[in-house]
Structure 1
């Protein structure tokens, strides 16, 4: 990123996301990297699990009821996050927070998180939750800085750390 001031975050209803927005490439990179970190080096998109392929093939369908946040450097998508609508218990979830490696360390992830938290507050979510792989220490530290705390897991995958942030937590 050449200039911090060039960064902007675009909010899109998930159903309105198109290939032109750049989300597909970010999701592909996210899922390929995650599979690599799990020890399943997958080099081709087609070899990803179907649940991830469906997001890449049709993000508008996969995230139809969600809010898609795209960090743009000029007109190039360099990061993303998905915020789900509050569930029956009033919780929203942040998913797929990803920043391209060339754009890390410049506040892009923090900007996406702040935008997601503001949107959740605007939707009257009583809490925002997320899950993160336990080996992603930098991401966990980022979430803690933004007021998230580890909670009892709602996931059956042992390597996932479940975290939650309630309104009014430090940001």
Structure 2
């Protein structure tokens, strides 16, 4: 008997099987956790800012033209990431999230590998991302995968901007 999970990374929506509801519950968890970490906790998704509620209520519309990748354990969605449509040869990685119950099993790394492969398939030369400076584990993961800190393109305090060539 093995404790190793079989994880598949799929594009959502796609022709392959994916969890019911898509990434909505993962996006809700991501935004609720982020707001709490920023010191602005809310009880549920209804308390989130409009732009985040829109992502949760209709991810297909919110990410039209982008690539949404989901990590599945069987039919259970355990992680997600968004790769934005290329603009000027560049895409952005957003909303990387792994269900806390499934962390420490390489799911985030698999999602990032798939995101970079998807960006390369679309002809992207550079991928960038922003991450809150208190998410030191995520920053370390990004650095291990070749991302380097770069000049900020975002005016929000406490964001670290990173990029790497594809």
Q: Is the structural similarity TM-score above 0.5?
A: yes
1:146-170 CA distances to partner (integer Å, 9 max, x unpaired)? 0000000000102110100113xxx
1:60 has 2:60 as partner: yes
Q: Retained in 2: the 8 A contact 1:82–1:96?
A: yes
Give me the whole-angstrom Cα distance separating, in 2, the residues matched to 1:137 and 1:70: 23
Q: Tell me which residue corresponds to 1:156.
A: 155
CA distance in 2, matches of 1:143, 1:132: 10
Give the drift of 1:43.
1.3
Could you list the runs of 4 or more consecutive aligned residues of structure 1 that deviate by over 2 angstroms after TM superposition? 1-4
Q: How far does residue 41 in structure 1 lie from its aligned partner after superposition?
A: 1.2
SS at match of 2:25: helix
1:53-72 deviation digits (Å, cap 9, x = unpaired) = 00001001000110010000
Task: Provide the aligned C-alpha RMSD in A.
Answer: 1.7
Note if contact 1:131-1:161 (Cα within 8 Å) is conserved in structure 2: yes
- Residue 134 of structure 1: how far off its partner (Å): 0.5
- Give, in whole Å, the separation in 1 of the partners of 2:81 and 2:35: 18
Give, in whole Å, the separation in 1 of the partners of 2:121 and 2:19. Answer: 27
Unpaired runs of at least 5, structure 2: none
TM-score normalised by the chain length of structure 2: 0.93
- Secondary structure of the residue aligned to 1:55 is helix
| Alignment coverage as a number of residue pairs | 162
Q: Which consecutive unaligned segments of at least 5 residues does structure 1 have?
A: none
Instruction: For 1:16-165, list aligned pairs within 5 A.
Output: 20-87=20-87, 89-165=88-164
Work out the CA distance in 1 between the residues paired with 2:159 and 2:10: 28
Counterpart in the other structure of 1:3 = 4
Q: TM-score, normalised by structure 1?
A: 0.90
CA distance in 2, matches of 1:22, 1:60: 9
**Greater fraction of residues in helix:** 1
Say if 2:89 and 2:124, in contact at 8 Å, map to a contact too: yes
Q: CA 1:113–1:19 in 2, change beyond 3 Å: closer, same or farther?
A: closer
SS in 2 for 1:92: strand
